[in-house]
Structure 1
Amino acid sequence: MIIKEATYRKKEIEELEKLLKREDLTKRQIFLIERELYRIRKGIKGEKDAAYFINFYFKDSKNWFVLHDLRLEYKGRVAQIDHLLINRLFHIYILETKNMGQKIEITETGEFIIHYKKSRFGIPSPIEQNLRHQALLKEIIENEKLLPVSFGIRIKPRYFSYVLVHPNTIIKRPQKDKFDTSSIIKADQIYNITQKNAENLGIILDIVKLSSEETVKTFARKLLRFHRKSEVNWYKYFNIKEKITDYKPPRQYFCAKCKATISEKEALYCWDRKKIFGGKAYCYKCQQIIRKGKSQV
């Protein structure tokens, strides 16, 4: 069951595309904006690929609840969780998606190296990143007492942290006794992983502990209270002036007699007839009075 759909940062992309149309950008600013757009779009592609498999297996399930694109803020810290899976036993899966291209290499010391065409470059550990997200999520749940109480005892959840990569990505892993990479899985394996974990935990014996659908929904809604949309000031981020200084407000025109605001058309009409109006501008009503006075002379 889907509780929250992903927004895929549509607003941010629109803002960055609008910035690129500015004519006062430096070459460096253009490069940085284009690079940020590329990074966001690449990340979105990875999230969409993973969401396809997650939704395929869990969208219509009455035992699983899915929250996509969850950005939690708590006590000055942020956890950007790509996908959150919760079942009726409160097994909570924190899923981080990474679009790592064709090949990723993980060294014996836990370093992550991306292979792109003929280049190799390191990235921060997505395992550690997701564990930080898990830590903040756990803190929110515990401190705010979000979980329900059953028979006088607050339910204790189980947390599972995984990093999802595209099914076509080649993963070069070190020996397991050197560095454990079992939390790095391909997106199409997520269903089998949840089933395997259930078997290992003896889930059949826990059927009596199943919470109701409404209980899990209530928990998810409480958690969503800590969701905040990302608000980035891209002008400040890229050191761009927020206002273009050559803006000129439209002129205003006033009647020389009654001081009422008049249109540019009324003013031009008077200025084109200096013999009648003496080079001054008047509203239509005052024009008629002046014309009548002239005719009586």
Structure 2
Amino acid sequence: MIIKELETQNHTDPLRRAGYEAERQMAHYLKRAFGEDPNKLVLNNLRVERGGEVAQIDHLIVLRFGLVVVESKSVAGQISVNEQGEWTRWWNRQGRGMPSPVLQGRRQLELLCALLDEHTAELLDRGLFGLKQRTFGAMRREVLVAISDGGRINRKTEVPEVVKADQVPERVQNSVNQLRGSLTAFAFSDTEMTRICAFLRNRHVPARDVQADTASAPAVPHPAPPRGLTGVTFPPHCVPVAAPALPTAVHTPTCRQCGSDQLSIQYGKNYYFKCTVCSGNTPARPICPTCQQPARLSKSGAAFTAACAGGHQWSYWTNP
């Protein structure tokens, strides 16, 4: 499924225009292969920030077993990779060195994973009957470099991360097939995949100069986006919605062990439901019924209100 479409870009610079065309080509292949697959969630042209650093990811694929970063490279002639892993771009028999897109993709993925690690408790469920917090440490992480259809690859050493753009979907499917059926493989739940995609889409910050390539275009300052209750960044120009009367939750939480709705919210490391029937614990992780983003709870007496980063609020639970 396509969670975030590729943003339309109008470049006057030929190199930027060629780069965008390579991304558009790759986005087309991913949509054709995974557009209706609920187990492969695609975010195109994702740009997130952490601690003053920026991760610019051409294509991110959230799989059941982990994350795949795809770096799109526009190549009109030929690229070569020598035994030292050094990259050269060739055009009209003239070579010019270029940074390794494999290392570039790994750096982007590393920063993205660091951002996810900071929000582990919000994004992942607790395991072992709610006693232990799951982490991102065991998830699969992979980088692929997609060379545009018109380019040629001269490999003097094996670089398994480098493929032609039309081969990326097959490589992704092969990775899934290798892990499918493994009892020890890390796997996201449906809810966790939804939370992660909503979180990343909400953290996306478009580049300020992505639509302005000419020096004559006046620079328009963009205000810093406000911070939400969960630490999630609002999208630019997104105004939180404040309802005068809080709606109630559509879904009634139940005990994950016995299915009872005889619960009360307690607080340990995080909020959780305590079942009065079987004494089991169930994480209290509200999902916004309007925008499907993860939400955070606030307490006022016996009443608990949920609020998501999109500004929606609703009455989540009242303890007996």
2:195 aligned with 1:218, yes or no? Answer: yes
Per-residue Cα deviation, 1:77-101 (whole angstroms, up to 9, x for no partner): 1111000001233x20011100022
> TM-score scaled to structure 1, two decimals?
0.64
Report SS of the residue matched to 1:225. helix
Matches within 5 A, 1:19-168: 37-89=13-65, 91-145=66-120, 147-151=123-127, 152=130, 153-156=133-136, 157-168=139-150
Name the structure 2 match of 1:286: none
From 196, 213, 230, give the equivalent of 2:174: 196
Deviation at residue 75 of structure 1 after TM alignment: 0.8
Superimposed CA distance per residue, residues 90-114 of structure 1 (whole angstroms, 9 cap, x where no aligned partner): x200111000223111111111111
Aligned position for 2:206:
229
- 1:185 is aligned with what amino acid? V
Asked whether the 8 Å contact 1:81–1:94 carries over to 2, the reply is: yes
Q: Please say if residues 147 and 154 of structure 1, whose CA atoms lie closer than 8 Å, have aligned partners that are also in contact.
A: no
What's the secondary structure of 1:205's corresponding residue? coil
**Distance in 2, Cα, partners of 1:236 & 1:215:** 38
CA contact (8 A) 1:113 1:122 kept: yes
Moved more, 207-216 or 185-194: 207-216
- Could you tell me which residue of structure 2 aligns to residue 3 of structure 1? 3
Q: Deviations over 1:116-158 (max 9, x none)?
A: 1232211111111111101100110101225311423314321
- Structure having the larger proportion of residues in helix: 1
Q: Secondary structure, in 3 states, of the residue corresponding to 2:157?
A: coil
2:223 aligns with none
Counterparts in 2 of 1:139 and 1:209: CA distance versus 1, 3 Å: closer
Alpha-carbon distance, 1:224 to partner: 2.2
Give the aligned CA root-mean-square deviation in angstroms. 2.7
Q: Structure 1 residue 213: deviation in Å?
A: 3.6
Note if contact 1:104-1:170 (Cα within 8 Å) is conserved in structure 2.
yes
Q: In structure 2, what is the Cα distance between the partners aligned to 1:235 and 1:102?
A: 27
- Cα gap change, 1:4/1:107 in structure 2, threshold over 3 Å: closer, same or farther? same
SS for the counterpart of 2:174 is helix
More strand by share: 2
Q: 1:195 to 1:122 in 2, by over 3 A?
A: same
Q: Give the Cα separation in 2 of the matches to 1:210 and 1:235.
A: 41
Structure 1 letter corresponding to 2:167:
Q
CA drift of 1:55 comes to 0.9
- What are the ranges of 5 or more consecutive residues in structure 2 without an aligned counterpart? 220-320
Aligned residues: 212
Q: Measure, in 2, the Cα distance between the counterparts of 1:147 and 1:86.
A: 13
- Could you list the runs of 5+ residues in structure 1 that have no partner in the other structure? 14-33, 244-297
Task: Give 3-state SS (helix, strand or coil) of 1:6's partner.
Answer: coil
> Is the 8 Å Cα contact of residues 161 and 183 (structure 1) preserved in structure 2?
yes
Query: Could you state the TM-score of these two structures normalised by the residue count of structure 2?
Result: 0.60
In 2, are the aligned partners of 1:148 and 1:155 still within 8 Å (CA)? Answer: yes
Displacement of 1:211: 4.3
Q: Which runs of 4+ in 1 moved over 4 A?
A: 206-212, 233-238, 240-243
